[in-house]
């Protein structure tokens, strides 16, 4: 049986070695100037080193260019894409058609993964971007299991689904937190906190903490829970979903590595020894629960319409 790719998000070049040994098949990296909500910042020299590290293990390297681009960055795209082609990355993840058009002009051989985070909700749209040149569609996090399986049945492109980690609920191009602190005359305070992992919006009524951070792309408010469907993989494996993504944004490297190793076991058992998977999937879930940060409960996201924000 075909196994889905296990796609993960390293925090650094050195972390790639741990993730590869834990069973990752592919990684997604990039820098905030061009990519959204990355687990680690990878400048150009880091991308080169990341490709070298990944090649040692046969791991594919995808680079995020899925930021929202305004006019001031359009002229930069061709140079960055040319660099990625020379670095021999395996694919570029994009949302803006400007990236697709620039790839056609600059590196027409480059593989493209379409990812807008929210609008990949039907197979017509996935196939539209496939016919424009994308080889893969990254499905929205807000659709349920039945919709995912139906999209895969009709898709003309590879299908990627996030199976673990937090999701983005809100993004603004504005530096909302930074502007608030500056309005209060606390510029130094926000500069110290801007890239930290301990900033939250607190919902007292529901006792939820929504992680919030700012980068060059603006302000991002994340879900209070982490998706985890390590014990619900069988339908998507049987349907031939091409890639399972673990999103480690705002998590520690050790946590991402451990979760990767557990999903590696789950995928292998689900594809090769289904009876063993059914027997052990509860234990695999328990192992993730044991390392899960206390302020981030696990749920099944929108796969079974359980999550309400």
- Each residue's pLDDT, cut to its tens digit, for the chain (309 residues) gives 789 999 999 999 999 999 999 999 999 999 999 998 888 999 999 999 999 999 999 999 999 999 889 999 999 999 999 999 999 999 999 999 999 999 999 999 999 999 988 889 999 999 999 999 999 999 998 899 999 999 999 999 999 999 999 886 666 666 555 544 544 444 434 444 444 555 665 556 666 676 777 777 767 677 778 899 999 999 999 999 999 999 998 889 999 999 999 999 999 999 999 999 999 999 999 999 999 988 788 999 889 875 555
Range of the domain at 201: 170-220
Tally of CA atoms within 13 A in the half-sphere of 275 that contains its CB: 0
Query: Same domain for 194 and 85?
Result: no
| Radius of gyration in angstroms for the set of CA atoms belonging to the chain, rounded to a whole number | 19
Q: Are residues 91 and 149 in the same domain?
A: yes
Would 94 be classed as within a structural domain? yes
237 — alpha (psi -120 to 50), left (phi > 0) or beta?
alpha
Residue 304 lies in a domain: no
pTM of the model: 0.87
Q: Give domain status of residue 307, yes or no.
A: no
Domain boundary, last residue among 153, 188, 220: 220
The burial class, CB within 10 Å (0-12 / 13-18 / 19+), for 126 is: buried
Is residue 306 situated within a structural domain?
no
Residues 131, 174 share a domain: no
Q: What is the pLDDT of residue 308?
A: 52
* 271 class by beta-carbon count within 10 Å (0-12 exposed, 13-18 middle, 19+ buried): middle
* Rounded Cα distance, 50 and 66, in Å: 19
The per-residue pLDDT for 221 is 74
Shared domain check, 160 and 174: no
Secondary structure of residue 142 in the 3-state scheme: coil
Instruction: Say yes or no: 271 and 289 in one domain.
Output: yes
Q: Using the structure block, give the residue that is written with the tokens 């946590």.
A: 255
User: Would you say residue 97 lies in a domain?
Assistant: yes
Say if residue 248 is in the same domain as residue 154.
Answer: yes
**Given 186, 220, 254, which residue is the final one in a domain?**
220
Position 309 in a domain: no
Into how many domains does the chain fold? 2
Distance of CA 172 to the CA centre of its chain: 19
Look at residues 148, 176, 171, 222 and name the one whose alpha carbon lies nearest to residue 67: 171
Exposed (0-12), middle (13-18) or buried (19+): which is 229, by Cβ within 10 Å?
buried
Neighbours of 133 (CB within 10 A): 16
Check whether residue 105 and residue 11 sit in a common domain. yes
> What was the pLDDT predicted at 204?
62
Examine the domain organization and report whether 177 and 277 are in the same domain.
no
CB neighbour list of residue 9: distance below 8 Å, 6 or more residues apart: 27, 28, 29, 38, 39, 40, 165, 245, 246, 247, 248, 249, 256
Q: What are phi and psi of 193, to 5 degrees?
A: -100, -10
User: So what's the pLDDT on residue 132?
Assistant: 96
Give domain status of residue 308, yes or no: no
Residue 1: per-residue pLDDT: 79
Residues near 74 by beta carbon (within 8 Å), at least 6 away in sequence:
98
């Amino acid at each position: 049986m075909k196994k889905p790719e296990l796609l993960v998000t390293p925090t650094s070049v050195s972390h790639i070695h741990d993730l590869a040994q834990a069973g990752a098949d592919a990684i997604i990296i990039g820098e905030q100037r061009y990519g959204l909500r990355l687990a680690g910042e990878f400048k150009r020299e880091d991308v080169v080193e990341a490709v070298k590290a990944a090649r040692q293990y046969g791991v594919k390297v995808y680079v995020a260019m899925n930021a929202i681009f305004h006019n001031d960055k359009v002229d930069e795209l061709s140079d960055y894409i040319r660099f990625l082609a020379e670095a021999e990355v395996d694919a570029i993840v994009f949302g803006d058609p400007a990236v697709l058009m620039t790839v056609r002009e600059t590196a027409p051989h480059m593989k493209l993964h379409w990812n807008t985070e929210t609008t990949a909700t039907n197979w017509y749209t996935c196939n539209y971007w496939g016919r424009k040149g994308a080889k893969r569609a990254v499905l929205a996090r807000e659709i349920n299991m039945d919709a995912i399986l139906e999209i895969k049945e009709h898709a003309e492109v590879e299908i990627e689904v996030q199976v673990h980690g937090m999701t983005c609920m809100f993004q603004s191009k504005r530096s909302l937190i930074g502007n608030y602190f500056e309005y209060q005359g606390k510029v130094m305070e926000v500069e110290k906190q801007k890239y930290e992992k301990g900033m939250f919006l607190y919902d007292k009524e529901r006792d939820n903490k929504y992680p919030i951070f700012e980068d060059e792309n603006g302000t991002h408010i994340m879900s209070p829970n982490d998706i985890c469907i390590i014990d619900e993989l069988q339908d998507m494996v049987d349907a031939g979903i091409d890639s399972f993504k673990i999103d480690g944004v705002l998590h520690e490297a050790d946590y991402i590595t451990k979760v990767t190793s557990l999903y590696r076991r789950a995928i292998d058992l689900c594809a090769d020894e289904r009876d063993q998977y059914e027997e052990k999937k509860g234990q695999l879930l328990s192992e993730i629960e044991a390392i899960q940060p206390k302020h981030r409960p696990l749920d099944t996201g929108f796969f079974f319409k359980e999550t309400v924000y």
